[in-house]
Chain A
Amino acid sequence: MHKGYVLTKKELKRESILKTALKLFSAHGFHKTTIPDIANALNMSVGNLYNYFKSKDILAKEIIKYTSEVLGQEIQKVNLQNISSKEKIKKIVELYFKMAKEKPEMIEYFLRVYLSHREVFNDGCEGMLCVSGFVTEIMIFFDNGVESGELRNQDFFSAFGLFMGYLGGMVFLKGENILPKKLDEYIDDISENIYNALKA
């Protein structure tokens, strides 16, 4: 994600803490995961970890910003392509499910930590503050689609909820082992449904 310059040792360490904590929070839950658990998994002292993040709450907020940026950058790549909104929808569904498969902790964290522990995020992650990296790219996608006449001009949140709520719901069902088929097998149908709901 940091194209164009080399990360310092400290920045690399910071990112590795974020990635490790992300996995532990997603797997064991926010409350059951402790700072010593995270330090232990990284082979570093608890004191040193506190040099990077002053508290578990702060760490949790930095993680949501980090995952939102990573997802936002992937969607940005789709937005920058010279293709129709219909094709973009399919690519966004594909990359979301790919991330759910290859880095499940990214999506799991959003669904099971960020959305489920509002008391942690209310102070410092108000509104869209910590997920703006990702929300901005969805806004750009909608804006381009309406501008080109391909998508219907409607309320932002009606469209946003339909698109991202749908994908999040499917990944949640997958996480609960309820889906009878693999996520990939739903890509065509889901993309078509989203397009039908958003098209002009």
Chain B
Amino acid sequence: MARKPKLLWIQSLTCNGNSHSFFNHSNLFSILSHFELIYFPLIETKYSLEDVLRKKVHSDILIIEGAIKEDLTKGGVNIKELIHHYAKESRYIITAGTCATFGGIFKQSEPEKISGFAFDKENEKEDILSLYEHRLISLPGCPIHPKWLSYVLLMIINRRRIPLDEKNRPQELYGFTVHTGCVRNEYFEWKIDTHGFGHKEGCSFYENGCQGPFTHGSCNKILWNDTSSKTVVGTPCFGCTEPDFPKERLFSTKTNMGIPQKMPLGIPKRAYLTVTGIAKSFKIKRLEKKVIDYEK
């Protein structure tokens, strides 16, 4: 039997959110059974963190969690240097989460010093990409969806090619917007606002700051906890997979004289406004009513 690939999870500047998200995968141990788990912060293995820091282990698939900071040390070891040590020998390098991919929330504290592994927000880190571009898979998200990571791991195990976009994100996962599959699409079509949070009815794009129509991700195709998503339950999408995450005032839509500043991905503003003007002109009674009238 062929040797199982060695899976090594290294944490840089992180809140552990991605580890915990993956830990909640409903088939975690079945997925991990295909690998030799070298180190993962939430599961005991035969190696200690010290073994990892002392470079006593090896890696075939390196998962990086957390943002990169030049002088960050753990146990006296420079983490950036440690990541490079294991990245050089790995067949795949996966940046798990927006911090590891673009800098994310941690970048906010010291924007000049903190970035993602191969990207600094939108910008490519050419020195890193020149070394690892062909082995790099970006999985932004705050946190990542556990099934986005398992998709990548199982594709690797099955020796399948993973089509990637210009930021090394799997197209299967990030080729859509979060808007795709949202149960509120009918309200979006007819421009009916939700007027609050947590309601069954209405769309959160107009007032509540939903970024689903311009955020890459499949939160409404691959549901969270196999059950739901932010936009489904009536909370705006925060755009957590994007290079510019986090933005400010996540619960309100930025508008210019009432016109949403940011358009659905790739839609010219003139086209959007024309269609919106027409759709808004109609009063669709069914969509303006509550789905369930609890007062009755």
The one of A126, A136, A140, A155 in contact with B258, judged by C-beta atoms closer than 8 angstroms, is: A155
Q: Which of A97-151 contact B (CB under 8 A)?
A: 126-129, 132-133, 135-137, 139-140, 142-143, 145-147, 151
B283 within 8 A of A: yes
Q: Write the B252-296 contact mask toward A (1 if CB under 8 angstroms, else 0).
A: 000111110100000001100110011011110000000000000
Chain A residues near B257: list those with CB within 8 A: 139, 142-143, 146, 151, 153-156, 159
Is there contact, CB below 8 Å, between B282 and A146?
no
Inter-chain CA distance A62–B194, complex, in Å, is: 33
Task: Give the docked Cα–Cα distance between A147 and B259 (Å).
Answer: 11
Question: Which residues of chain A come closer than 8 Å to B274, judged between CB atoms?
Answer: 132-133, 136
Bound CA–CA A159/B259 (angstroms): 12
Interface size on B, residues (CB 8 A): 16
Residues from chain A with Cβ under 8 Å of B255 in the complex: 153
Chain B interface, >50% SS class: mixed
**How far, in whole Å, are A84 and B282 apart by their CA atoms in the complex?**
35
Contacting pair B259 A143 (CB below 8 A): yes
Residue pair A147, B277 in contact (C-beta under 8 Å): no
**Complex Cα gap A137–B280 (Å):** 16
Q: How many A-B residue pairs have CB under 8 A?
A: 57
**Contact assessment for A128 and B281 in the assembled complex, using a CB-CB cutoff below 8 Å:** yes
B283, closest chain A residue (CB):
A126
Q: Are B269 and A127 in contact (CB under 8 A)?
A: no
Determine the chain A residues whose CB is within 8 A of the CB of B258 once the complex forms.
155-157
Of B259, B270, B283, which one neighbours A156 at CB under 8 angstroms? B259
Report if A140-B277 is in contact (Cβ < 8 Å); known contacts: A147-B261, A154-B257: no
Q: A140 vs B273: C-alpha distance in the bound complex, in angstroms?
A: 8
Give complex CA distance A54, B283 in Å. 25
Q: Which residue of A lies closest to B271 (CB)?
A: A136
Our pick among A135, A153, A154 for the contact of B277 (Cβ within 8 Å) is: A135
In angstroms, Cα B280 to Cα A139, docked, is 14
* CB-based contact A126/B256 at 8 Å: no
Which of A139, A147, A151 has its CB near the most chain B CB atoms (within 10 A)? Answer: A139
Q: Is the CB of A142 within 8 A of B259?
A: yes
Closest to A146 in B: B256
Q: A156-B258, A159-B257 are in contact. Are A129 and B278 (CB under 8 A)?
A: yes
When the two chains form their complex, are residues B273 and A139 in contact, meaning their CB atoms are under 8 A apart?
Answer: yes
Q: Which residues of B contact A142 (CB under 8 A)?
A: 256-257, 259
A167 smallest CB distance to B (angstroms): 18
Instruction: Report whether A132 and B277 are in contact in the complex, using a CB–CB cutoff of 8 Å.
Output: yes
Question: Could you say which residues of chain A place their CB within 8 Å of the CB of B270?
Answer: 76, 136-137, 140
A142 to B260, CA, bound (A): 12
Closest chain B residue, CB of each to CB of A135: B277
Q: Closest CB of chain A to B261's CB: distance in Å? A: 7
A126: chain B residues at CB < 8 Å are 281-283
Please name all residues of chain B whose beta carbon is closer than 8 Å to the beta carbon of A159 when the two chains form the complex: 257
Shortest distance from the beta carbon of B256 to any chain A beta carbon, whole Å: 4
Contact among A129, A136, A140, A147 with B281 in the assembled complex (CB-CB below 8 Å): A129
- B residues contacting A by CB (< 8 A) are 255-259, 261, 269-270, 273-274, 277-278, 280-283
Q: Which A-B residue pairs are the 8 nearest by beta carbons?
A: A127-B281, A156-B258, A146-B256, A129-B281, A132-B277, A142-B257, A143-B256, A136-B273
**Could you list 5 examples of A-B contacts with CB < 8 Å?**
A132-B281, A140-B270, A153-B255, A156-B259, A159-B257
